[in-house]
Amino acid sequence: MNIILLGPPGAGKGTVSELLVKEYGIPQISTGDILRGAVQQGTDVGKEAEAYMNAGKLVPDEVIMKIMEKRLQDDDCRKGFILDGFPRTIPQAEQLDNLLDRLGLDLDAVVNLEVPEDIIVRRLTSRRTCSNSDCQAIYNMISKPPKKEGVCDKCGSTLIQRDDETEEAINERLRTYHEQTEPLIQFYSSRDCFLSVPSLDAKTVVEEISGRVAE
């Protein structure tokens, strides 16, 4: 099963992905993960990406697509994959279409997660992350608080609010989403595999996806 999850930051893509991973035994793939993996492996394209990252520049789409092509051919993707937060732009979506065509792969579901912006802001400003770089566990002070306030359940390190999860930063992230990523809804909306569902409960979203794929 090959799935793309769309939606604004804070829509719950990570939570839905976790449930899909358990349900179908397929990997969750994000741009950040594959870039870090390629850098750690020391591949030629990984070194190319690292040079951009070290210079504080965005990694070009062509480099990301090279890494994505290799990742989608790894053994754990034989049964499928979940693309979480990728593609982000129309050009990336077009290049992904070409890549999937070359690999002989089809999309089973492109899922847009619908969430009102006031809920997104509340979700993200309530999020806390473990300060331990080896842990990075994520909590939500409303829906998933730690057992002890300000302390990670897993490793005991201090929980912090990331700079990109303040209200000002979130509004800027949403502006970028509306400009660059929201057009993907129109790009995919005419396809039979597209569905748009309210994302207030992750289990319900997974049930919707499973029902669509089973049709």
CA gyration radius, the chain? 18
Catalytic-role residue among 79, 154, 162, 203:
162
Catalytic-role residue among 36, 70, 71, 88:
88
Active-site residue flag, 88: yes
Q: Which residues contact 213 (CB under 8 A, 6 or more apart)?
A: 1, 108, 109
CA atoms of 5 and 187, how far apart (whole Å): 14
Catalytic-role residue among 70, 122, 144, 173:
173
Active-site residue flag, 36: no
Q: Burial level of 175, CB count in 10 A (0-12/13-18/19+)? A: exposed
Cβ atoms of residues 108 and 3 within 8 Å:
yes
Active-site residue flag, 162: yes
Catalytic-role residue among 66, 123, 127, 128:
127
Active-site residue flag, 191: no
Nearest CA to 11 among 108, 137, 122? 122
The catalytic residues are 13, 88, 127, 162, 173
